[in-house]
């Protein structure tokens, strides 16, 4: 499968915090950078996410901002 | 300044393609990963973005999805 | 591949309008409903999108609003 | 009222799961497709959403991705 | 019509810049604050937007970030 | 720091409701308009948000819709 979302970044799950309906998944990518994804608990279960699991972060280009000093 | 957006990733601009109103900015982050940000031309000018410029990519956690094989 | 985005809707491309950097892709789903996706021209080329091609629309649950009369 | 969001899809609420602050609303649209909307509990109450209620899903075109096999 | 999106802000159109597919609409709200909305050209036409027209800006709560000094 | 997000609106925190993982922060801006931001609990703590604190709301232009009567 190919997806139009331009940012598809290899990583692995390093932490999952489930709330009542929304979970925060922490994904370590290259260089030790850790991303936070806020997704549904349902998705966490459907994808069988757990610490150490290989995954990709997927981000649409229109959701990326740029900041400079 | 501190921002609630949980993903604030250090990088540098490696390419900019301006369209009529919308620009695509490519940002190289750790490990040679290149992100694409779709932002307004106005922001490109306001931030004086140009190839080689140090920057951060900023992404809200609720805009990050997870994919697994 | 499985994706956390909860809305993965089968359809086919019925129209593509490319702009300078951003394209609008129209996708017909069940019941003759036509969705509009605003994606990068780059993605249109990468996915080899063209009229009649089978595809899915992918939408994160946090990007869906509800309206009532 | 008319809204710029290009995807305004007729359906009815088939399930609501309220969390501590965020609710997941399931909306059945044409062809038996069920969408998931992640919205605030406050909105669920304000719109008096309940199972069986007619509604529309509203999605901005820039939040729709495309996937192909 | 009522919409789940929690931010529905009264204003008027003060400027429109149409690109090839994407338009930037500037909306003045209370206190002289000017918002920028990036929407499709198609929506600009469909809503008959023009300078001086009364409108509302609509923003989903999950798309609002917070910044502090 | 300068950010590409075109909507950076001065205000102050008037209410915070923390859920299990997601918090709703209410920000009063000019003219008594109150915005709702849905952000992570983690961000609320990191930014030391509390009632009365000066802040800005930050919204990407591609996340702003327009509505007309």
Interface of A with B (CB under 8 A): 3, 5-9, 13, 24-25, 27, 29-33, 35-39, 43, 47-49, 53-69
Which pLDDT band holds residue E60 (cuts at 50, 70, 90)?
Answer: very high
Identify whether the C-beta of residue E10 lies closer than 8 Å to the C-beta of residue E27: no
Amino acid F37: pLDDT = 98
Q: Give the one of B65, B67, B69 whose C-beta lies nearest to C60's C-beta.
A: B65
Alpha-carbon distance F47 to F53, whole Å?
Answer: 10
Amino acid D41: pLDDT = 98
Residues of E in contact with F40 (CB under 8 A): none
Amino acid E12: pLDDT = 98
Give the minimum alpha-carbon distance from C54 to chain E in angstroms, rounded to a whole number: 23
Alpha-carbon distance B26 to B33, whole Å?
Answer: 10
Given the candidates 2.40.50.100, 3.30.110.60, 3.40.190.10, 2.60.120.10, the CATH classification of the domain at E7-60 is: 2.40.50.100
Q: CA of F14: how far to CAs of A44, B68, F26, F30, F32, in Å?
A: 33, 40, 6, 13, 11
Q: Give the one of F17, F66, F67 whose C-beta lies nearest to D21's C-beta.
A: F17
Average pLDDT over chain D reads: 98
Which pLDDT band holds residue B25 (cuts at 50, 70, 90)?
Answer: very high
When pLDDT is averaged across residues B33-56 and rounded to a whole number, the result is 98
Positive or negative, the CA dihedral B2, B8, B9, B15 is negative
ipTM: 0.98
Q: What is the per-residue pLDDT across A24-53, written as a single tens digit (0 to 9) for each?
A: 999 999 999 999 999 999 999 999 999 999
Positive or negative, the CA dihedral A29, F25, F5, E57 is positive
Identify whether the C-beta of residue B20 lies closer than 8 Å to the C-beta of residue E20: yes
Residues of B in contact with C4 (CB under 8 A): 65-67
Q: What is the per-residue pLDDT across C2-15, written as a single tens digit (0 to 9) for each?
A: 999 999 999 999 99
When pLDDT is averaged across residues D50-57 and rounded to a whole number, the result is 98
Residues of D in contact with A19 (CB under 8 A): 19-20, 22
Percent residues over pLDDT 90 in chain F: 100
Which pLDDT band holds residue B8 (cuts at 50, 70, 90)?
Answer: very high
Chains with 3+ CB–CB pairs under 8 A to F are A, B, D, E
CATH number assigned to the domain covering C7-61: 2.40.50.100
When pLDDT is averaged across residues D16-30 and rounded to a whole number, the result is 98
**Residue in chain E lying closest to C36 (CA):** E40
Q: What is the per-residue pLDDT across F13-65, written as a single tens digit (0 to 9) for each?
A: 999 999 999 999 999 999 999 999 999 999 999 999 999 999 999 999 999 99
Q: What share of chain B is helix, strand, coil (3-state, %, to 5)?
A: 15, 55, 30
Identify whether the C-beta of residue D15 lies closer than 8 Å to the C-beta of residue D51: yes
Q: Give the one of E4, E20, E62 whose C-beta lies nearest to C19's C-beta.
A: E20
Alpha-carbon distance A8 to A58, whole Å?
Answer: 5
Give the minimum alpha-carbon distance from D26 to chain E in angstroms, rounded to a whole number: 14
D44: left (phi over 0), alpha (psi -120 to 50) or beta: alpha
Of F47, F40, A24, D49, nearest to E61 by C-alpha is: F40
User: CB distance A68–F5 less than 8 Å?
Assistant: no
User: CB distance F5–B61 less than 8 Å?
Assistant: no
Identify whether the C-beta of residue F57 lies closer than 8 Å to the C-beta of residue F36: no
Amino acid F6: pLDDT = 98
When pLDDT is averaged across residues C52-69 and rounded to a whole number, the result is 98
Domain boundaries, chain C: 7-61
Amino acid D42: pLDDT = 98
């Amino acid at each position: 499968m190919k997806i139009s979302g331009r940012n598809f970044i290899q990583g692995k799950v390093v932490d999952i915090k489930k709330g009542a309906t929304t979970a925060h998944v922490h994904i370590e990518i290259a260089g030790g950078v850790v991303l936070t994804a806020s997704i549904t608990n349902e998705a966490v279960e459907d994808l069988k996410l757990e610490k150490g699991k290989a995954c990709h972060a997927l981000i649409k280009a229109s959701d990326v901002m740029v900041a400079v000093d």
